[in-house]
């Protein structure tokens, strides 16, 4: 998330936590809708993967 460090300093804690929760929830939904899986949450980032199955050409997509 762009400027999350700056936001964490400027916003009240409750408001910042709400933003991070909403961001994580929405991004997780998008990842799952494209057939991906959330591996873990790291600060304001989400590490995910998208398996290609048995079609090696889908790896690029």
**If you average pLDDT over each of 11-15, 48-52, 56-60, which comes out highest?**
11-15
pLDDT per residue as tens digits for the range 11-27 = 999 999 999 999 999 99
Closest CA to 20 of 35, 30, 5: 5
Hey, where are the domains in the chain?
4-59
Both structure tokens of 20:
């991070």
Residue 56, pLDDT > 90, answer no
Please state, for a pLDDT cut of 70, what percent of the chain lies above it: 84
Q: What is the mean pLDDT of the chain?
A: 86
């Amino acid at each position: 998330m762009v400027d999350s460090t700056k936001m964490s300093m400027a916003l009240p804690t409750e408001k910042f936590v709400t933003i991070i929760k909403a961001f994580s929830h929405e991004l997780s939904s998008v990842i799952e809708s494209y057939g991906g899986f959330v591996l873990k949450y790291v600060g304001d980032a989400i590490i995910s993967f998208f398996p290609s199955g048995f079609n090696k050409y889908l790896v690029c997509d």
